[in-house]
Amino acid sequence: MTDDLEVTAGSVDITPRQRLPLAGWEGRTEPFAAIADSLEIAAILLRSGGVSALLVSVDLLFVDDGLESTLRAELERAGLGDCLVLAAASHTHFAPSCDAGKPALGARDAGYCADVERKAAALVDRLVGSARQPTRLRYVAGQARHSVNRRRRGWQLSGRPQRSVLMRANPRGPNDQTIHVLRFDDEEGVPQAIVWSYACHPVAFPHGLHVTAEFPGVVRRYLRECFGANVPVLFLQGFAGDLRPPAIIAPGRHPGRRLAAVFQGQALGRFSEPGYEEWSGSLAQLVAGCATSPDLEEVTPILRHRTSSLPLSALIEQASGQRELRITRLALSDDLQLLAVSAEVVVEYGVHLERLFPGMRTIPVSCAGQVYGYLPTARMVEEGGYEAAEFFEPFSLTGRYKVSVEERVVELMRGLAE
């Protein structure tokens, strides 16, 4: 016998009203020039059998400790101190920074971040006070072809030529093209909230100085066209540490670029406006197709959660401070779960989920909570490249990864499985 699942959900606009710098890349310090579409916080409060969990999706590059603390304080004030808080960033590279720990990736504006926290607290207060209703949970998975692996071995042409790992298109590299969709319906089958996930960096919007939720915002608009303008839509970033949109930069007739394409692979950048509309629109149609599919399976909800963590010193030599890697397992039924990690996890970790959680349908979630940086595999640590070593400086990290990093992380996941 299982307990009924009760849900309240909502969303709030967090689009900046003052012109601020955007987070995502080093060197982009000027204020944004225009607002292409809105940024949001969307949240869903799940309660079943005395267990509660708050899922939050935020249109930011990363979630800051301040936001998580605000959410927990609001839940404690409402008598839900034991509620799980799972706050995940969409990881859009076109929003202001709310992460004080990574100044190189974007200057943090205290006033904007305080406004985001205030709106998040008000949203939670509204969800806690709203009437709960029994909810039917439905799930479906689909497939897309909208990302490409960005790690490729090629020749470093500057200075002494040598083989190295470059950030170039690698169509044959590992990938995960799975679209996951969760629908939380009322007793009449009307969606009260939609949660979806896909593994892809939101980095290819045509205009570098525009505010946008990027492809999660496009999908959100499509889903609201299907289900109503007020339906909360949560996006959970998949294990996309080495995946991004296939926005190829054509070398044209430039001799140097043509030579680089031969010896290094195709360069990646941002789409043209028509290219972005086609790419994001076709992805949105696929997600909407999943959300309206007759193959949506109703699952019997059983809410359980557990969190484990490791200090960064267990993974990184010379790591200092209080930062940690945190992994949360949130079971939604006997065979359906979220596994959320406080890092930019590379797609290769997906194979471990299949082995560690046999018989479970797992939705991988990265950028959950306070993200310290990228989580590479042992092979990547030996190879080098951005996801294994070069990201340290812009992420305000020192030291280097231990070759045992993958072994330690898998051990942590195994503990959650057992």
pLDDT at 14: 98
The reply to whether 343 falls in a domain is: yes
Per residue in 225-275, pLDDT (tens digit) is 999 999 999 999 999 999 999 999 888 777 777 777 777 788 899 999 999
Whole-angstrom distance, CA of residue 174 vs CA of residue 148: 9
* Token output for 293: 């599919």
Q: Is there a contact between 44 and 55 (Cβ–Cβ < 8 Å)?
A: yes
- Is 91 a domain residue? no
Question: Distance of CA 364 to CAs 37, 139, 166, 237, 333, Å?
Answer: 27, 15, 25, 8, 15
Give the separation between CA 280 and CA 274, rounded to whole angstroms. Answer: 10
Question: What CA–CA distances, in Å, run from 404 to 26, 42, 410?
Answer: 29, 37, 10
Which one, of 112, 53, 125, lies nearest residue 82 by Cα?
53
DSSP structural state of residue 3: P
Taking only the tens place, the pLDDT of each residue in 120-146 is 999 999 999 998 888 999 999 999 999
Q: Please give the residue range of the domain that contains residue 395.
A: 306-417
Q: Establish if 341 belongs to a structural domain.
A: yes
Residue 169: count of CB within 10 angstroms of its CB: 23
* Beta strands 297-299 and 136-143, pairing class: antiparallel
Domain membership flag for residue 392 = yes
pLDDT at 318: 84
Number of domains making up the chain: 1
Q: What share of the chain is helix, strand, coil (3-state, %, to 5)?
A: 30, 35, 40
Let me know if residue 380 belongs to a domain: yes
Type of residue at 112? Y
Query: Within 10 Å of residue 379's Cβ, how many Cβ atoms?
Result: 11
Cβ atoms within 10 Å of 98's Cβ, excluding its own:
26
For residue 388, is it within any domain?
A: yes
**234, 304, 327, 370 from 307: Cα distances, Å:** 21, 11, 6, 14
Element (DSSP H or E) covering residue 35? strand 34-35
Asked whether residue 381 is assigned to any structural domain, the reply reads yes
Domain contains 204: no
What's this model's pTM, rounded to 2 decimal places? Answer: 0.96
Alpha-carbon distance of 234 to 128, in angstroms, equals 18
Longest Cα–Cα distance in the chain:
69
Structure tokens at 174: 């590992």
- Return left, alpha or beta for 24; rule: phi > 0 is left, psi -120 to 50 is alpha, else beta: left
Three state DSSP letters for 239-301: CCCCEECCCEECCCCCHHHHHHHHHHCCEECCCCHHHHHHHHHHHHHHHHHHHCCCCCEEECC
Q: Which helix (H) or strand (E) holds 192?
A: strand 191-198
Per-residue CA distances from 184 to 42, 217, 233, 285, 294 (Å): 14, 20, 11, 20, 15
Tens-digit pLDDT string for the chain (418 aa): 357 899 999 999 999 999 999 999 999 999 999 999 999 999 999 999 899 999 999 999 999 999 999 999 999 999 999 999 999 999 999 999 999 999 999 999 999 999 999 999 999 999 999 988 889 999 999 999 999 999 999 877 676 767 889 999 999 999 999 999 999 999 999 999 999 999 999 999 999 999 999 999 999 999 999 999 999 999 999 999 999 999 998 887 777 777 777 777 888 999 999 999 999 999 999 999 999 999 999 999 999 999 999 999 999 998 877 789 999 999 999 999 999 999 999 999 999 999 999 999 999 999 999 999 999 999 999 999 999 999 999 999 999 999 999 999 999 999 999 8
